Amino acid sequence: MGDSTRKIKIKLQIVDETGRPLANCQVKFTQKSHKFMFGCGAFEAVEWLNPTCDTNVPYYQDMMEKWFRLFNFATLPFYWGSFEVEEGKPKTDQLLKTAQYLAGRGIALKGHPLCWHTNCAEWLLKYDDHTIFQKQLDRIYRDVSDFKQVIHFWDVINETVIMPCFDRYDNGITRICRKYGRDILIKEVFAAARAADPDAFLLINDFNTGPGYEAVIEEALETGVPINGIGIQSHQHQGYWGKNKLKDVIARFSRFGIPIHFTENTLTSGHLMPKEIVDLNDYQVEQWPTSPEYEIRQMNETEEMFRILWESPAVEAITEWDFADDAWLHAPAGLVRERDNSLKPAYYKLDELINKEWHTEVMLLTDDKGCVDFEGYQGTYHIEAGSRTKDAELVCDRDKELLLLSFL
């Protein structure tokens, strides 16, 4: 199949401000962004745009400019325990400032997560279960409403397979999941998010890619839960999954007919975590260095994985976790080295794929009716016809055989 699923073939009629066809005219199409969402966590942007006296602003600015060259999709942190440390005092202003800036740079945004048993608000534990449940729903409605103008994607609930049996520490979300049932919790949190923003793209997300996650999704869909996307975490600290497992995961979850997002993709450029570790959080090391040899391994694995996902019609997004080394678990899983933002081989490889191999820039000549046959990767284009310019989204529309492109 190759990458044909990512392309558009369409006849365009180019007209001027008055509607007159621009006949026998040279028209240049330069792709600005893809429809496919190449994503990455953008947690560093929060610190960059909301600096304290200790923030190294030039360091974060340099990092983010390198980030912008690759990505068109950002995940922002809404971990309840960090977002609202003190009840009634959420960090809305900081996150909204960050979201507005990123949206202004043409970045699509996702909030992560709205409901999760880990990094949960500790102050919930002073309440009874009924109150905890209501506060969870209120939190979702508040945050989705506050950000609905800039954030259109949400990981509504995170890691539901393990949620009811999570026993590492007490938390409000596991409490209500056990008492009311996972199915009820999923149904209600999605309903709260949908009520706050009827147009939002709502995802369920999990690191479990086995039958348990499939069963959760199947039950939710059967009861009418408005799931728009299936989130697949792919933390590969213990080694690259390989093409066979990747294709198996895609095949099993594509049966639901819902877009798949690879939401948290980790490939390291250091030693691999021991296989006997069950909970990745149990692997605690002070240093997890990158090395030239393992950076080549990371580059090769990244290329193969991105090609597989790019060629899979069911997959609409992949999010790198994270951009810089020494983030979650201190793993060297970034595309830039933490000490100086120097670029790793995997960064150069993604730049080559996203901005060169999977990029369209073409000059076409219209016929005497102002028409051209356009073929290119779906996305947003900057279009030039003489002194006229405009930006336009060119994506597949099965109902249209001819698309009118006006320089109004």
Fill in the amino acid letter for 105: R
* SS3 per-residue string spanning 283-322: CCCCCCCCCHHHHHHHHHHHHHHHHHHHCCCCEEEEEECC
pLDDT value, residue 3: 77
Answer yes or no: are the C-beta atoms of 39 and 75 closer than 8 Å: yes
Answer yes or no: are the C-beta atoms of 315 and 303 closer than 8 Å: no
What domains can be seen in the chain, in order of their start residue? 4-31+360-406 (2.60.40.1120), 37-355 (3.20.20.80)
pLDDT value, residue 398: 57
List beta partners, residue 26: 365
DSSP conformation class of 29: E
**Token pair belonging to 194:** 């949908």
What's the whole-number mean pLDDT along residues 330-340?
95
Q: What pLDDT band is residue 408 in, cutting at 50, 70 and 90?
A: low
What's the whole-number mean pLDDT along residues 97-103?
98
Q: Omega into 129 within 30° of 0, i.e. cis?
A: no
Q: What pLDDT band is residue 347 in, cutting at 50, 70 and 90?
A: very high
DSSP conformation class of 324: B
What's the whole-number mean pLDDT along residues 83-110?
98
CA distance 364 to 22: 12
pLDDT digits (tens, 9 = 90+) for 311-324: 999 999 999 999 99
What's the whole-number mean pLDDT along residues 160-185?
97
pLDDT value, residue 5: 87
Answer yes or no: are the C-beta atoms of 387 and 28 closer than 8 Å: no
Q: What is the mean pLDDT of the chain?
A: 96
pLDDT digits (tens, 9 = 90+) for 216-242: 999 999 999 999 999 999 999 999 999
Lowest average pLDDT, out of 72-76, 206-210, 281-285, 354-358, goes to: 281-285
Lowest average pLDDT, out of 9-18, 136-145, 173-182, goes to: 9-18
Name the percent of the chain lying above pLDDT 90.
94
What is the full DSSP assignment across 346-400?
A: HHHHHHHIIIIIT--EEEEE--TTSEEEEEEESEEEEEEETTEEEEEEE---TT-
Name the percent of the chain lying above pLDDT 70.
98
**Token pair belonging to 339:** 């000490």
pLDDT digits (tens, 9 = 90+) for 366-385: 999 999 999 999 999 999 99
CA distance 29 to 257: 33
**Token pair belonging to 282:** 């149990």
pLDDT value, residue 156: 98
Answer yes or no: are the C-beta atoms of 11 and 402 closer than 8 Å: yes
- Token pair 């019609």 in the structure block, residue: 313
Q: What pLDDT band is residue 402 in, cutting at 50, 70 and 90?
A: confident
pLDDT value, residue 243: 97
CA distance 50 to 93: 10
CA distance 42 to 70: 12
Q: Under 8 Å CB-to-CB from 348, ≥6 apart: which residues? A: 299
pLDDT value, residue 66: 98
pTM of the model: 0.96
What is the full DSSP assignment across 33-79?
A: EESSEEEEE-HHHHHHHS--TT--HHHHHHHHHHHHHH-SEEEEE--
pLDDT value, residue 399: 56
Query: Looking at the predicted structure, is the pLDDT value of residue 11 above 70?
Result: yes
Q: Give the number of other CB atoms < 10 A from CB of residue 401.
A: 8
List beta partners, residue 377: 7
Query: Looking at the predicted structure, is the pLDDT value of residue 12 above 70?
Result: yes
